[in-house]
Structure 1
Amino acid sequence: MSIKWEFSAGGIVFKEEDNKIYVLLVRTKDRWSFPKGNIEKTESKENAAVREIKEETGIEGEIIDYLGNVEYYYRKGIDTIHKFVYYYLLRYKGGEITPQKEEIDEAVFVSIEEAEKLLSFDKDKQFLKKAENIIKTLITK
């Protein structure tokens, strides 16, 4: 048994429509979260977040702020993986939702209230709350 390290980046993409804020969620099996994926060796965390979101969902975003990171362990065969995920807040720039079926089952924009109900992990809910506070300051300017 060995411990391997993984580094991923992703984020919360938001858009405003009809005076309401929507965020992008992805579903894999029965778990709802934010789009993310592995950082390539020569890539910055920011570039990885933008690229992975587009690859997984078809949605293009522009980074507004850094939200923080989470780390956890999981098992992959006989290995223990120590994973770090870096999250960013991104403003929707364009694109149509096109889920990358090899990675995720579904991608959808939902209201912040609906996202809070759907998200599977408490840490994601904390990032959502932080993102919501930042978005409110952006919109009131």
Structure 2
Amino acid sequence: MTENNRPHHTKRSGDDTSRRRRHRRGRGEGSGKNTHDSHKTNRKAPNRNTRQSEQSANPSSPTPNAVAGGKREKPNNAQSATNRTKNRRRRTSEPAQTATNKRTKGRRKAAAKTQRTGTHRKNYRRSTYPSTQMETRIETSAGGLVISGLAESVQPDGNVDLSRIYVALIGRLDRRGRLLWSMPKGHVENGEDIAVTAEREVWEETGIHGEVFAELGVIDYWFVSDGTRIHKTVHHHLLRYVDGALNDEDPEVTEVSWIPASALIEHFAYADERKLARIAHTLLPDLARKELAEGRGTPR
């Protein structure tokens, strides 16, 4: 075969091949997977020779791919039209959240937060706090002061010597071991008259029989016992001594004693009973004169 009859093969030069490769690389960087969209948007990747010539003309501007330390970073090209369309469709397909949806979402987050590990102890401590609503019970008691020596306390000039009038008090030990003095009193039984309760409780706690002849006053207070709020009302009376001797057989009573009426106020441990003692100081002189006028002496 002659040289003229040999098949003619066009030999591509190295410059032409490298130019086509660079053209493909530049075209692929801007288009992503779909190259047709890049032709539609008329985007053309810049040539390496063009970038080098621009940098040589302006040496102060850094190259797009140059970073500190000489490392190469990925090109920050704009999104293609296809990606922008997908993102736009994705955004428009999501329904708008209403105020109700936002509140529901917030409740779900709060519920999930309380169910996380480590929060069960906090919730347990919060749930062990006692309830503010407590059972309430109403109680009524009655008692008073047993008085001895009323008629004998009246002086010839008509004045009354309170130091010659004696009243029976009971003493109880508190948690600190202190002896606290108070009036004898107790709970009113069902269907029982208040005056009868006062006479019975005085006899049970002091061993003395007394007879109610005047009212002293009523006090009320609140306290808590075994998780129950109790509103207690106590009716106090003045009792005339009839007979009996002091004893402390009641297990709740530590000591029983006759106290001069002149020292009554400072003996009481509670403020409400000290108030009643001041009332007694104003009542006793007239009651003593009345007892003397009626010839009621103290039994011996």
Which stretches of structure 1, 4 residues or more, deviate above 3 A after TM superposition? Answer: none
Aligned partners of 2:251 and 2:198: how far apart in 1? 18
Partner of 2:99: none
TM norm structure 2:
0.45
Task: Work out whether residues 73 and 83 of structure 1, in 8 Å CA contact, stay in contact via their aligned partners in 2.
Answer: yes
- 1:7 maps to what in 2? 140
Aligned position for 1:125: 274
Larger Rg computed on CA atoms:
2
* Alpha-carbon distance, 1:103 to partner: 2.0
Deviations 1:10-66 (A, max 9, x none): 001111186401111111113211000000001000000000000111011111111
Displacement of 1:124? 0.9
Between 1:78-87 and 1:120-129, the stretch displaced more is 120-129
Higher relative contact order (CA 8 A, sep 6+): 1
Deviations 1:52-85 (A, max 9, x none): 0001110111111111211001111111111000
Aligned residue among 96, 102, 116 for 2:251: 102
Q: Is residue 52 of structure 1 aligned with residue 52 of structure 2?
A: no
Match of 1:31 in 2: 180
Q: Does 1:64 align with 2:208?
A: no
**Runs of 5+ in structure 2 lacking a partner?**
1-133, 154-163, 174-178, 291-300
Contact in 1 for aligned 2:204/2:250 (Cα 8 Å): no
Q: Please give the alpha-carbon distance, in whole angstroms, between the structure 1 residues aligned to 2:254 and 2:183.
A: 13
How far 1:102 sits from its partner (Å)? 1.7
Match of 1:87 among 236, 257, 278: 236
Unaligned runs of 5+ in 1: none
Tell me how far apart the structure 2 counterparts of residues 52 and 139 of structure 1 sit (CA, whole Å): 24
RMSD between aligned residues: 1.5
Counterpart of 2:250 in 1: which secondary structure? coil
2:271 & 2:262 partners in 1: Cα distance?
Answer: 15
Distance in 1 (CA, whole Å) between partners of 2:230 and 2:251 is 21
State the alpha-carbon separation in 1 of the partners of residues 217 and 181 from structure 2: 19
1:115 aligns with 2:264: yes
* CA distance in structure 1 between the partners assigned to 2:242 and 2:280 by the alignment: 17
Letter in 1 for 2:218: N
Does the 8 Å contact 1:25/1:115 carry over to 2?
no
Q: CA deviation at 1:100?
A: 3.3
TM-score by length of 1: 0.93
In percent, how many aligned pairs have the same letter? Answer: 32
* 1:76 paired to 2:209: no
Instruction: Give, in whole Å, the separation in 2 of the partners of 1:34 and 1:134.
Output: 17
The aligned amino acid for 2:184 is P
Richer in helix (by share): 2
Give the structure with the higher percent strand: 1
Shift of residue 132, structure 1, vs aligned partner? 2.5
